[in-house]
Amino acid sequence: MEFTFTMIKAAVIGASGYTGSELARILSRHPRISLETITSRKRAGESIAEAMPFLRGFSDLTFVDSLPDDEDYDVVFLATPHTASMKFVPDLLSRGIKVVDLSGDYRLGDPTVYATWYEHEHTDPGNMSRAAYGLTELFREDIAGADLVANPGCYPTCSILSLAPLFINDLVEGKIIIDAKSGTSGSGQKLTQSTHHPNCGASVSPYKVGNHRHTPEIKMVFDRLTGNDIDVVFTPHLLPIVRGMLTTSYASLKDGVTKEDVTAVYQSLYGKERFVRITSVPAIPSTVGANICEVGFEVVGNTVVAMGALDNLVKGAAGQAVQNANIMFKMDEASGLDFPGLGI
């Protein structure tokens, strides 16, 4: 008797950017999710093979201006800019469609905090409060029962996963300092002076020091894990590479905590995880192209140095979004994602 299953119908809104194209790449080979529609106002009428030559032979879709009202989808991925996703979510949910939002619109849970950091009033606060925060390894149960998942930012994913065992097990205290570095693809396709190659190609540049929008997102999760008000100092830097991210964080260990204690909590939380790999020194090349976050640590006196590396477009965005969709539809979490990093 041949086993058959129903394919899950998906669409990507805003598919012409780096994150959208990465979603299209991953979904083009997913065994259970069928990418039916991709939208882009600026590329409407253009074939995906023209816009994304790397997908020639893997997809024959054509960009459309907007999602058809009469089509039934099981899940829609929103690869839209901040403040745009909230315009789509209410209608999609009313149609019974599950949503994975890759923007920052539903991550923070609090419309007041959102307005402060994004300088824009949130127009859908009711759905904001019901959205599951999609950091898969920490909040699987919430994701499994959700119809709206707020996919985390790339910096928060790397920072939080590298530090979470310490917070969950109450091993650290005081201020947390996060030094984070990311490739230029993290800022999107639009050319800016700071990402113009002559300005960034031979430099490592800090930016948005003290006011980056991922700061409250990181703090929100640490507060949730501990029940305390955690003081987070987060400084991002631009690396002269296209994709990849490295975070190095510093925290004070509580009295009596040893390196053996730290080792034990990392092994306990991540020892059986498919997409978090414990290593002595995380390396960006090991994660590029893969849905993997490498984490590592070292204890220096009473300070723990926690490190993380990932591909900001995969585990930091599109790959984690697919991982969350797999959970939402009760599939194997690794479906469509079980491939290694490039290594170079």
For 102-109, what is the mean pLDDT?
96
Mean pLDDT of the chain: 93
What's the fold here for domain 155-312? Dihydrodipicolinate Reductase; domain 2 (3.30.360)
Q: How far apart are CA 306 and CA 282, in angstroms?
A: 10
Q: Domain residue spans in the chain?
A: 8-152+315-328, 155-312
Is there a catalytic annotation at residue 154? yes
CATH code linked to domain 8-152+315-328: 3.40.50.720
Residue 162 has pLDDT above 80, yes or no: yes
For 69-77, what is the mean pLDDT?
94
Q: Which residues contact 300 (CB under 8 A, 6 or more apart)?
A: none
Q: What is the pLDDT of residues 18-27, one digit of tens each?
A: 899 999 999 9
| pLDDT attached to residue 271 | 97
pLDDT band of 203, cuts 50, 70, 90: confident
Token pair listed for 274: 């498919």
| pLDDT attached to residue 337 | 97
| pLDDT attached to residue 1 | 44
Token pair listed for 289: 């192209």
Q: What is the pLDDT of residues 114-157, one digit of tens each?
A: 999 999 999 999 999 999 999 999 999 999 999 999 999 999 99
| pLDDT attached to residue 190 | 66
Q: What is the pLDDT of residues 256-285, one digit of tens each?
A: 999 999 999 999 999 999 999 999 999 999
Q: Sheet with 205-206: list strands edge to edge.
A: 205-206, 232-238, 172-182, 245-253, 303-310, 293-300, 276-278
Residues 218 and 155: beta-carbon distance below 8 Å: yes
